[in-house]
Amino acid sequence: MDGVIPLNKEIGQTSSDYVYKLRKVLHTRKIGHTGTLDPLVDGVLPICVGQATKLVNTLTGSSKQYEGEITLGRSTTTEDREGDTVEEKKLTKAFTTEELNETFQKMTGDLTQIPPMFSAVKVNGKKLYEYARAGLEVERPERHIHIYDFHIMGEPVFDETTGYQKLKFHVQCSKGTYVRTLAVEFGHLLGYPAFMSQLTRVESAGFKIGETFTLGQIETMMENNDHSFIKTIDDVLKDVPFHELTDDEWEVRVLHGGFLEAVDGADKTKQLRAMRNGVTKALYKYDKVRDMWIPDLMLLNNK
The residues that are catalytic are 38
Return d(Cα 283, Cα 271) in angstroms, integer. Answer: 6
How far CA 195 is from CA of 90, 176, 276, 300, in Å, comes to 13, 18, 50, 46
Task: Reduce the DSSP state of residue 80 to 3 states and report it.
Answer: strand
Among 156, 146, 154, which residue's Cα sits nearest to residue 194? 156
Q: Which residues fall within 8 angstroms of residue 215, CB to CB, at 6 or more apart?
A: 7, 10, 18, 21, 22, 25
Residue 111's CB: how many other CB atoms inside 10 A?
18
3-state secondary structure (DSSP) of residue 48 = strand
Helices assigned H by DSSP within the chain:
15-26, 56-60, 97-106, 128-133, 179-190, 215-223, 233-236, 247-248
